[in-house]
Amino acid sequence: MLDTNKDSLKLEAMKRIVAMIARGKNASDLFPAVVKNVACKNIEVKKLVYVYLVRYAEEQQDLALLSISTFQRGLKDPNQLIRASALRVLSSIRVPIIVPIMMLAIKEAASDMSPYVRKTAAHAIPKLYSLDSDQKDQLIEVIEKLLADKTTLVAGSVVMAFEEVCPERIDLIHKNYRKLCNLLIDVEEWGQV
């Protein structure tokens, strides 16, 4: 079904695969067939392929690396869900070679119009930091920018990134302290914690 030209069959196949993963079954042997569909034009298929890739990118690094250019194109997609998914997959590939690509993607996503994409950028910061701690100074710049964000969607995620990367830099919080306190009531439960 994944090898056909019909998007409806590809969509059905991806739904079945994601359902298998949700039930705890191992679908890693399907990686080559799924990764071929990463450039599919159908947005629903693309979303499900990205869900799959987030799950298996770390285990199948070599094959995931072959798709890097597709993820980079995904970062420019008009659909915010595709941009966020592309960044999520990119930050799930734990290979030092792509650190510069990840850094650039996080910086661009931190300036995205969509709060959802900016939130995803905040989630990617600790992943990049754990992969290469030499990026700390650049990541702190991004954290500083995101701490100034006025949306509740971003607030909890960027504070989490702050806690993991630079908890000693209280000066970053100082500028935004009152704003963060005011946003706290509207931030979702996980972000409040």
* Amino acid identity for residue 51 in this structure: V
pLDDT at 142 over 90: yes
Asked if the structure places residue 126 within a domain, the reply is: yes
- Residue whose C-alpha is closest to residue 5's, from 36, 48, 50: 36
Whether 59 is covered by a domain: the verdict is no
DSSP character string of 175-192: TTHHHHHHHTTTS-HHHH
When divided into structural domains, the chain yields a total of: 1
Question: What single-letter DSSP state applies at residue 2?
Answer: T
> Is the pLDDT higher at 48 or at 70?
48
* Residue 165: closest CA among 138, 190, 193: 138
Query: What is residue 159's predicted lDDT score, i.e. its pLDDT?
Result: 93
Confidence grade of residue 139 (pLDDT, cut at 50, 70, 90)? very high
Residue range 153-171: mean pLDDT, rounded: 93
Could you tell me the residue range of the domain that residue 162 belongs to? 96-191
pLDDT tier, 63 (very low <50, low <70, confident <90, very high otherwise): confident
In angstroms, the CA 189 to CA 193 distance is: 7
Flag whether 64 is in a domain.
no
Domain membership of residue 9 (yes or no) is no
Burial of 136 (0-12, 13-18, 19+ CB in 10 A): middle
Q: Is residue 143 part of a domain?
A: yes
What is the length of the chain? 193
What's this model's pTM, rounded to 2 decimal places? 0.82
Give dist(CA 144, CA 18) in Å, integer: 36
Q: Do the Cβ atoms of 139 and 165 come closer than 8 Å? A: yes
Annotate 108-133 with three-state secondary structure: HHHCCCCHHHHHHHHHHHHHHHHHCH
Contact of 151 with 118, CB cutoff 8 Å: yes
Position 78 in a domain: no
Q: Is residue 138 part of a domain?
A: yes
What is d(CA 163, CA 140) in angstroms, rounded to the nearest whole number? 11
Domain annotation covers residue 60 = no
